[in-house]
Chain A
Amino acid sequence: MKHTWAMAIDLDRCTGCGACVVACNAENNIPVIGEAEAGKNRLMHWIRVNRYWEGEYPEAQAVYLPIPCMQCERAPCELVCPVYATYHNEDGLNAMVYNRCIGTRYCANNCPYSVRVFNWYDYKWEKPLDEQLSPDLTVRSRGVMEKCTFCIQRIRRAKETAAEEGREIRDGEVVPACVQTCPPGAMLFGDLADPHSEITRKLKDPRRFRLMEHLGTEPRVVYLKRQKGAGR
């Protein structure tokens, strides 16, 4: 069965706590780069929580926006890769083939959401911190672009388990690390190809919007606007 993976992020629930960021660090072997590199805006995080200020004191307010890779249906990053290192996979995800990547960084340049991060160095895990590295993923080397994969290793595992047991993947059976840990339950992940999945229902919410819709990138990450006041 063909899947259409999608993520919903309910900004009415998001508190900006950053649990998703560290969960992703742990799941995806994301290196720690240190203060100097962080100052150059080279954080390797695959999901970040943007904070925007709105208004002035005393009406000042902050808006949080967790931003993973949007897994665009019409992805600007894919078009510019000269070596076909980033491509559209069978489930419609933007996948990366690290071995093909030659580090032109055209894709990062063309991504309107700035979610692609580049390995400027061979980052090291001081022993025994390397014991924690997930065996499901590679550790990327210098000169390679990387980004959020919707935890493709979890999707693959769920597919294998389902195939072994001769069934379809159940709704909610596979969730990325960020969605799994999100304390207020602001994130939801599922298959839009399944008309009965929770996410299909959730995305009928009139609050839905996508980042920079005018660009026509058709992101697979859909946000739900914050609400105001009591009641609905």
Chain B
Amino acid sequence: MLDRRQFLKLGGATAFATLFGGCDKVQSRLIPFVIPPENYTLGEALWYASVCGQCPAGCGVVVRVSEGRAKKVEGNPLHPVNRGKLCARGQAALQALYHPERLSRPMKLSGARGSGAYTPVSWEEALSLLMGPLKKGKAEAPGSLLMVSEPMRGHAGLVAGRFMKAFGSKHRVAWDPFGPDAMLSANAAVYGVRDLPEHDLANARYLLSFSGDFLETGISPVHYAREYGRMRGDRETIRGKVVHFGPRLSMTATAADLFLPCAPGTEGFVALGIAHVMVRDRLTAASSAAGRLADDLGAYSPEEVEKKTGVHAHDIAAVAEEFARNQPGLAVAGTGAATGPDGAFHCAAVALLNVLAGNVGTPGGVSFPDRAQAFAKYGAEAALLAPSPESGYGGMRAALEKMRGGAFRMAILSGATNPAFTLPPSLKFNEALSKVPFVVAFASFLDETTSLADLVLPVPTALEAWGDDLAPVGHAGAITLCQPVVEPLHDTRSMPDVLIAAAKELGGEPAKALPWSSFRECIEKAYGGPGGEMEKALQRGGFFGESSSSRSASRTGSVAFPKAAERPIDGDPKAFPLALHLYPSLTLYDGRGANLPWLQEMPDPISTAVWRNWVEVNPKTAAGLGLAEGDGVTVTSPSGKITAHVAFNPGIAPDVAAMPLGQGHTRYGKYANGRGENPITLLPAGEMYALQATRVALAKTKLSTTLARTGNPEGQWKVKNMM
């Protein structure tokens, strides 16, 4: 029997044991909060401004940080590019930060090159592995160093550029698969400015989109989506109208009031047809004054254009008249028009419409702010901080040629543009790189390119690093500042930091060119350091007050007439009946987003497919080929053959097959690998990086996979019943 006294004794002992039994254990789950870390209050979130590094648009973000962890990325309301808005890719920056497959420490190759077998090493060992070949190269053949990166903006570009110059090598290639080369050369020809235009959508009344993709994957999708919203609904009495020409009903095309499908690769002819009507009927002051173009435009009457493009002559005439009547109006060309073999012609023809409408340098029109002005104090070096957004394809090809010739002893790779994945395989990037004796890669993830390196150095993501940025459009010269919003998760060092340290160790010229102790110091010196202006700017996200003077488009009076070169695309139309239309994926962009589960699981707006890629065909074309939705097909071009699933797009031209880029990874981690095949393997390796460069044939085949589509779970609905 347990009496009262015993019960109390036992109870006391138990209580004692419970109370003090835990004393010898180290608390691992509860946070002892006697002296909390700086800026750390339980339950209270803090917000840090930085830049979104998920694509080159350079949107400003604010990151919600709670208990030292980034919880959510949101648009920075003060940032001129995106004003508080952010796209799906930007939101997913968090998953890149906390990705389970992120490289957490330096790794050196432990097997054959390309085998993917690496052993982790310390930073000391990694740096000594890096410095050996660097020192030897500097002493013996400084010109044998190659750097392949994505276009680097801000002081990161300055550090990389100065490093290469001081090292004595001029082989620096910046590769961006969606670099708007065609648009740049068209702008140089038509406006006399080799730069990206700023389209003032918000104040336009009429927008002509020629395969435009400004709402999804263009130069600055969030900026232009916001402007598009303002164009539609922010004015009391005006609603901007959008007309879209193109071979495919894309997400941007569905936003248009009128979608007029044209044959693939004929966007420029439609534009010239509209120009013809504008000049012939003297519809605007500028087009009446451009009478001397009448001869050149003579061959592009709407009837002639109809034969070539399939757009009805009366539609062309009606759109021309509406465009001229509803001024200010804009004409924009998108990736689909710019990345054909004849892209520069298409872009120039579209740009001509802006000139004929008299909308260059006016509100609701096209302007050319002087971007490099923000870095004017650097003089000739300003081009390192605000590089031209070109793709660098020419430089890449030349570099590959030299690699094969054994000109390089060492290559430095960096950036997310993944040339082994985004270049046509016939260029043989992998093989060329294998001729370089020592390859070092700066990366957050192993991918098709970085897994070819001898030494992989882990870098912080954009949310963990110092830096600055100058967005390509929408900013009026504003500089964005980046700061680490959280403590770096892994033992990472940024590429500029490593280059600065390497320069110090090399001594001499390089050490003089990079006189800072760290990249952070470089940024602080450039912007006045802590305490001053920079601290305020860091809180706001950058220097936004300044406005830059707009460069005048110098040559609008005597514009050259764009000449069509008529470069046929690859493949015999008999054997390969469909033109292949490749487009950047809304979620995966050039493929860099493919390892982020949120993006893989976001349904595509057109096909509603997730986790896998597909080929879009018109249901009528598919019926002719005996294909049903979801069927497996082989897609064959003269250059390659892949398989994919069929997805119907009733708004795609019947002679076109379209595929999104971004899937088809083989070495980008478990979320990205094995989700279809890479459509870039279908492309020939031409003079230009052309995505619309080949014809294909489709044939039914059996695939072991299925295409998961998430279209309307309510199934039985028709949109008419709901609205």
Please report A residues at the B interface, Cβ cutoff 8 Å.
10, 12-13, 15-19, 21-23, 25-27, 32-36, 38-39, 41, 43, 48-58, 60-65, 112-114, 126-135, 177, 180-186, 209, 211-212, 223, 225, 227-232
Contact = CB atoms under 8 A, between A and B. Distances in A.
Q: Which of A35, A55, A56, A177 has the most B CB atoms < 10 Å from its CB?
A: A35
Contact of A135 (B43, B88, B222, B249): B43
Given A17-B215, A62-B249, A63-B719, A38 B233 contact: no
A33 B252 contact: no
Interface in B644-672: 650-654
Interface stretch (B149-157, B518-526, B571-579, B600-608): B600-608
Contact of A32 (B74, B100, B598): B598
B373 interface: no
Given A62-B605, A184-B228, A230-B322, 9 more contacts: A19-B85, A23-B88, A26-B71, A38-B611, A58-B261, A64-B605, A65-B719, A209-B723, A229-B239
A26 B73 contact: yes
B95 interface: yes
A58 B261 CA distance: 7
A181 B605 contact: no
A186 B599 CA distance: 21
Interface in B234-278: 236-241, 249, 251-252, 254-255, 257, 259-261
Interface of B: 43, 66-67, 69-75, 82, 84-88, 90-92, 94-95, 97-100, 205-206, 215-216, 221-222, 225-226, 228-230, 232-233, 236-241, 249, 251-252, 254-255, 257, 259-261, 322, 326, 489, 586-587, 597-603, 605-606, 608, 610-612, 618, 620, 650-654, 675, 706, 708, 710-714, 718-719, 721-723
Contact of B708 (A38, A134, A229, A231): A38
A51 B215 contact: no
B670 to A, nearest CB: 10
Contact of B610 (A35, A53, A225): A35
B297 to A, nearest CB: 26
Nearest to B601: A32
Nearest to A56: B650
Nearest to B256: A61
Contacts of A232: 236-239
30 contacts: A15-B225, A17-B221, A19-B88, A21-B602, A22-B598, A26-B72, A26-B94, A35-B610, A36-B708, A38-B610, A41-B713, A43-B603, A53-B651, A54-B719, A58-B260, A60-B650, A62-B249, A63-B254, A64-B605, A129-B99, A135-B66, A181-B75, A184-B215, A185-B229, A209-B723, A211-B722, A212-B722, A231-B238, A232-B236, A232-B239
Contact of A177 (B72, B652, B713): B72
A51 B611 CA distance: 18
A230 B239 contact: yes
B710 A38 contact: yes
A17 B88 contact: yes
A147 to B, nearest CB: 13
Contact of A22 (B91, B206, B251): B91
B229 A13 contact: yes
Contacts of A34: 601, 611
A127 B100 contact: yes
Contacts of A36: 708
Contacts of A135: 43, 66-67, 71
Contacts of B67: 135
A19 B59 CA distance: 14
Contacts of A114: 713-714
A56 B236 CA distance: 34
Nearest to A35: B611
B206 A15 contact: no
A26 B706 CA distance: 28
B605 A183 contact: no
Contacts of A18: 88, 586-587, 602-603, 605
Given A51-B608, A183-B85, A12 B254 contact: no
Contacts of A184: 215, 225-226, 228-229, 232
Contacts of A19: 85-88, 90-91, 222
B230 A57 contact: no
B592 to A, nearest CB: 15
Contacts of A131: 69-70, 98, 489
Contacts of B230: 185
Given A15-B228, A57-B620, A185-B226, A52 B251 contact: no
A181 B226 CA distance: 10
Contacts of B73: 26
Contact of B257 (A129, A183, A209, A229): A229
A16 B602 CA distance: 12
B98 A128 contact: yes
A214 B291 CA distance: 59
Contact of B72 (A27, A32, A60, A186): A27
B632 to A, nearest CB: 15
Contacts of A26: 71-73, 91-92, 94, 598
Nearest to B226: A183
Contacts of A231: 237-239
Contact of B95 (A10, A132, A183): A132
A183 B99 CA distance: 26
Contact of A15 (B252, B711, B723): B252
B719 A48 contact: no
Q: Which of A32, A63, A130 has the most B CB atoms < 10 Å from its CB?
A: A32
A17 B99 CA distance: 24
Nearest to B206: A230
Contacts of B719: 52, 54, 63, 65
B205 to A, nearest CB: 6
Contacts of B66: 134-135
Contacts of B91: 19, 22-23, 25-26, 181
A113 B714 CA distance: 7
Contact of B651 (A48, A52, A62, A113): A62
A190 B331 CA distance: 36
Contacts of A183: 82, 85-87, 221-222, 225-226, 229
B261 A17 contact: no
B601 A33 contact: yes
A195 to B, nearest CB: 21
B714 A61 contact: no
A228 to B, nearest CB: 6
A38 to B, nearest CB: 4
Given A17-B251, A23-B86, A135-B43, A62 B239 contact: no
B547 to A, nearest CB: 23
Contacts of B98: 128-132
Nearest to B59: A183
Given A39-B708, A184-B228, A230-B326, A16 B85 contact: no
A50 B603 CA distance: 10
Contact of A52 (B95, B249, B612, B712): B712
